[in-house]
Structure formats: C-alpha cells, structure tokens
Amino acid sequence: MSQKNSQTQLIAVASVIILALLGVIGWLLFDKSQQKQLIEKHQVELDDAEKVKVELEKEYYEALADLEELRGDNTELNAMIETQKEDLKKQKDQITSLIRNKKDLALAREEIKKLKDQASDYLAELGQLRDDNQRLIASNERLSEEKDILTEEITKERQVNDELLTVKAALMEENEGLSEERTVLTKKVTRASVIHVTDIDVQGYKIKESGKEVKRGSAKNVELLKICFKANENAVAEEGNEEFFIRIISPQGETIAVESKGSGVLINSDNSEEIRFTKIKELMYTGTDAMSCLSWQAETEMERGLYGVEVYNKGYLAGKSTFKLN
C-alpha cells in the first residue's frame, strides 16, 4: 500500500507539473502572439509614417523645383522665391515633427495638403508676377523699336529721343507704381504718335465770275489760298480720323482767322499756351503717307510779303513752311 501511494503521489505531482508547463507554454504562445501583433502594428505605423514622409519629401521638392523654374534676372522676384522657399522649409520641418509622433499621421497628411495648396498659391502668384515682368520687358522692347522709327520721322529728334530714353530707363528701374508709369507713358506715346507733315505747298488763286479758279501770285489778285501737305507715315499712330490745325501767319506775324469760317483756338501741348488757328482739316489716316488739301478764301485783299504756315496735330507742331505773295 505504501508503494502504491507513493506512485499515486508521484503521478499527481507530475500532472501538476505538466499542467503548469502547459500553462507556461500557453502563456508564452499568447505573449508571442501579442508581441507579433504589436510588432505588426508598429510595422504598419512605421510603413504609414514612411509613406507620409515620402509623400512630404515628394511634395516639398516638387514645390522647390517649380519655384526654381520661375527664377530669372528679376531681383525682386528672386527674393520672393527665396522667402517662399523658407516658408515651405518651416512647414516641412513642422510636418516632419508630426510624423515622428506616429499618432499625428492624419494631421501630418492634412498639413502636407496645406503645404501643397500653399505651394500652388505661391506658384500662381509668382507666375503672374513673372508674366507682368515679361510684359513690361516686351513693352520696353516695343518702345525701343518705336524710338528707332521716330528718330527718322520726327523733326524734334533730340527732344523725343530724350523723352523715350527717360521712359525706358524709368520702366527698367521701376517695377512698382505701374499705374503712374502708364499715365506718363501714355503722354509720351501721344507725343510720339504725332503725324508730322512735309511738302507743304501754298498756291494763290483768283476766282472769276464764272467760278473758275485761276492761279495767281500777286497779292492784289489772290482771293483764295489752296494749302496742300503730306501727312507722313507714323508706325505709332493709330489709324482713324485725324485733325490738322492750319495756321496762316501774315507778313506782320498775325494769325489770319475768321471764326465764322472755322477759325478758333487750340492748346499747345508743349506749354499749354493758346494758339489761334485759321482752319481745321480732317483726314482719314490709314497708316501710310497721304496728301491732303484745303482752301481758304480771303475776306479782304491779301497783303504783299512773306507768309508763314504752321500745321498742328494733337496739339503739337507737326510741320511748317512759308510762301510769298508779290
């Protein structure tokens, strides 16, 4: 009986040990499973963080590359590009900090989207500034071409050249205050668009009872003056109706004018002074050289001597000449 009891006790102890070992093994298997799940979770988080980091790097460096494509010779524009690159770097650093804390990956993705949107806004703004600058450069180049044309056409060559050079220098040095500069430029272009006249010819006529006009050169026989001139081509002037103010100056230096026949007063655009004129001649300007004539019938006998003729366009003196009646 004693031996049998010993065996029974041994079996019981072994059973307890086996059960304990099974429990330990079960706990180890469960712990390993939990660790595996935790590792897998961490791995997923690491993968997500890495994806977010790659996405951040992609958007950041693409934005930098896009900004660099806008870089040029414009100092102000390049300075803005550097400032915006610094802003993007600060945003990137903030997002990188969020990525390190795996719980903030969703927020990091939102911030990446904001970075992308902000980069797009930067690019749009800088692109508009670049386009404006290119238009300004094109305007400067166009003005330079116009200056070369005007050099051959305008009698007051030095004055116009100085004005155009001043405008060109101002436009090249200034990128701000465009509204004021456009106002100045408009005035200069108006001056440059004056249609100058040459080949001014004046002939005197006597009107017979039949109404026929007979050419005469003696002052006492002249009842009608015919004034012809050539309106010269000007590449700056727009096509359309143009007014030429004709001023006939007597040998005494007085303007021949009769208000009832169309005479009046114009404002000299150079100095804002009033100038009396004899008659207005309208011409449909087509952008090429064109001859034009008008008649002036005297109310009193013409005087002997040297007469002057001045032609104004847009308030500026466009041409002048003289003629003599014996």
pLDDT band per the 50, 70, 90 thresholds, residue 127: confident
Q: Are residues 168 and 87 in the same domain?
A: no
3-state secondary structure 11-70: HHHHHHHHHHHHHHHHHHHHHHHHHHHHHHHHHHHHHHHHHHHHHHHHHHHHHHHHHHHC
Q: Are residues 10 and 123 in the same domain?
A: yes
Of 163, 192, 221, which marks where a domain is finished? Answer: 192
Domain total of the chain: 3
pLDDT band per the 50, 70, 90 thresholds, residue 126: confident
8 domain residue, yes or no: yes
Q: Are residues 266 and 283 in the same domain?
A: yes
- Say what the pLDDT of residue 103 is: 54
- Say what the pLDDT of residue 183 is: 62
Q: Are residues 179 and 125 in the same domain?
A: no
pTM of the predicted model as reported, rounded to 2 decimal places: 0.45
Structural domain containing residue 274: 197-325
Residue 275 one-letter amino acid: I
- Say what the pLDDT of residue 162 is: 81
Mean pLDDT of 97-122: 71
Q: Are residues 56 and 170 in the same domain?
A: no
Res. 310: pLDDT tops 90 = yes
pLDDT digits (tens, 9 = 90+) for 276-288: 999 999 999 998 9
- Say what the pLDDT of residue 65 is: 83
Distance CA(210)–CA(228), nearest Å, equals 24
Q: Are residues 254 and 291 in the same domain?
A: yes
Q: Are residues 40 and 114 in the same domain?
A: yes
143 domain residue, yes or no: no
User: Where is pLDDT greater, at 310 or 154?
Assistant: 310
Q: How many CB atoms lie within 10 A of CB 22?
A: 10
Q: Are residues 10 and 110 in the same domain?
A: yes
Res. 4: pLDDT tops 80 = no
Q: Are residues 178 and 202 in the same domain?
A: no
Q: What angle do CA 311, 314, 319 make, to 5 degrees?
A: 25
Can you list the alpha helix ranges (DSSP code H) found in 154-277? 157-173, 178-192
Average pLDDT, the chain: 82
Of 192, 221, 242, which marks where a domain is finished? Answer: 192
Q: Are residues 242 and 213 in the same domain?
A: yes
Q: Are residues 187 and 222 in the same domain?
A: no
Q: Which of 147, 182, 140 lies closest to 161 in space, CA to CA?
A: 147
Q: Which residues have CB under 8 Å from 77's CB, separation 6+?
A: 70, 71, 126, 129, 130, 133
pLDDT digits (tens, 9 = 90+) for 239-263: 999 999 999 999 999 999 999 999 9
Res. 151: pLDDT tops 80 = no
Distance CA(231)–CA(120), nearest Å, equals 53
Q: Are residues 58 and 82 in the same domain?
A: yes
CATH assignment of the domain containing 250: 2.60.40.10
138 domain residue, yes or no: no
Distance CA(223)–CA(199), nearest Å, equals 23
Tokens 């205050």, located at residue:
177
pLDDT band per the 50, 70, 90 thresholds, residue 3: low
Distance CA(267)–CA(276), nearest Å, equals 9
